[in-house]
């Protein structure tokens, strides 16, 4: 007589703190595994407990250094497969290489598709992720993808804030209008967008605005930031046109030295982000919201073969 598979959660080295928060919310123990490197830099993984026939989830955002964290995830999946896990779900709160999702220049790869192929080939049975840079990336996988959104987490944090009384939601570019529109509908606020021109990989120039700006508190909605070039450029243009404050809702915040230096200029009054990747606010105006509960609830629903659709809904309003 067969029993139901046990739920097991493991983590690589990309974001163990998030994995521990998820386990605490779920009332589960974090699985025992060794994930380290040989002296030559090769990744070594050993699963330290029996997982035969279990339903296993591996938490690993593929953030900087992306290549190292992707290899860790692939090798962990292979180890779990060879240890006879019944089902393996890769929990990838931030999916790296997502911006390389099309051929926008001659003779360039579609690396997001390559990473999707690698995860499938390694042995993943499904993917759980959050706010993909482009939603069509779900179609790059030949396995099920549960794509969650951070918007309910953002909404629950800001929907009672005083600055919403005279606010406008803005997309930092035309491509992000759909996500900004969804947030403006949730908050019942007007919508605008910024036209921009990319000068190089680290520099973006905002050129035009469409929407109510003068005397308004602006809320920019974006999926990710690394150099803060888009946010700061848009913020400068918005304040030149009379914006009182400029805040940003950013799902994935991976600021490097350039981005931190730009934020010190004070153009952006606050970045509200999630802990999909490790974030160190330091003395910068960054508010970090936890997605541990959202991801934990999704895992419990996947494990029990329930729908995750309810997690897309805003609660408590």
Catalytic residue ranges: 196
Question: Which of 216, 204, 149, 202 lies closest to 173, judged by CA?
Answer: 204
Closest alpha carbon to 129 in 155, 180, 182, 90: 90
| Type and span of the H or E element at 21 | helix 16-26
Distance between CA 172 and CA 194 in Å, rounded?
Answer: 5
Alpha carbon of 135 to those of 16, 98, 129, 185: distances in Å? 26, 10, 11, 19
What is the C-alpha separation between 98 and 110, in angstroms, rounded?
9
C-alpha separations of 21 from 68, 97, 131, 168, 293 in Å? 23, 26, 20, 33, 8
Of 24, 118, 31, the closest CA to residue 73 belongs to: 118
E strand or H helix that includes residue 292: helix 292-303
Q: Collect all residues with Cβ–Cβ distance below 8 Å to 273 and sequence separation of at least 6.
A: 249, 250, 251, 252, 253, 279, 286, 287, 288, 289
Q: How far apart are alpha carbons 14 and 293 in whole angstroms?
A: 19
- Phi, psi torsion values for 279, nearest 5 degrees: -125, 130
* CB atoms inside a 10 Å sphere around CB 275: 19
DSSP secondary structure code for residue 31 in this structure: P
- Nearest-angstrom CA–CA distance, 13 and 114: 22
Other beta carbons within 10 angstroms of residue 137's beta carbon come to 21
- Other C-beta atoms closer than 10 Å to the C-beta of 187 total 19
């Amino acid at each position: 007589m067969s029993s139901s598979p046990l739920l097991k959660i493991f983590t690589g080295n990309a974001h163990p703190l998030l994995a521990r928060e998820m386990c605490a919310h779920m009332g589960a123990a974090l699985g025992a595994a060794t994930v380290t490197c040989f002296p030559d830099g090769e990744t070594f993984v050993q699963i330290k407990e029996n997982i035969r026939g279990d339903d296993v989830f591996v938490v690993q955002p593929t953030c900087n250094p992306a290549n190292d964290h992707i290899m860790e995830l692939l090798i962990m999946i292979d180890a779990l497969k060879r240890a006879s896990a019944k089902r393996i779900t890769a929990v990838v709160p931030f999916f790296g290489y997502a911006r390389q999702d099309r051929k926008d220049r001659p003779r360039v790869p579609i690396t997001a598709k390559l990473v999707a192929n690698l995860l499938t080939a390694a042995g993943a049975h499904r993917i759980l992720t959050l706010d993909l840079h482009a939603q069509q990336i779900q179609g790059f996988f030949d396995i099920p993808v549960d794509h969650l959104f951070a918007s309910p987490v953002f909404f629950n944090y800001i929907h009672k804030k005083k600055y919403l009384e005279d606010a406008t939601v803005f997309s930092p570019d035309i491509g992000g209008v759909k996500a900004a529109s969804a947030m403006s509908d949730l908050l019942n606020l007007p919508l605008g967008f910024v036209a921009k021109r990319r000068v190089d990989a680290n520099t973006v120039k905002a050129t035009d605005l469409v929407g109510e700006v003068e005397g308004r508190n602006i809320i920019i909605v974006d999926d990710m930031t690394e150099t803060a070039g888009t946010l700061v450029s848009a913020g400068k243009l918005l304040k030149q046109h009379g914006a009182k404050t400029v805040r940003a809702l950013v799902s994935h915040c991976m600021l490097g030295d350039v981005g931190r230096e730009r934020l010190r200029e004070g153009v952006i009054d606050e970045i509200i982000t999630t802990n999909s990747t490790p974030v160190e606010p330091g003395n910068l105006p960054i508010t970090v919201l936890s997605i541990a509960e959202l991801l934990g609830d999704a895992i419990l629903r996947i494990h029990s073969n329930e729908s995750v659709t309810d997690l897309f809904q805003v609660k408590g309003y």
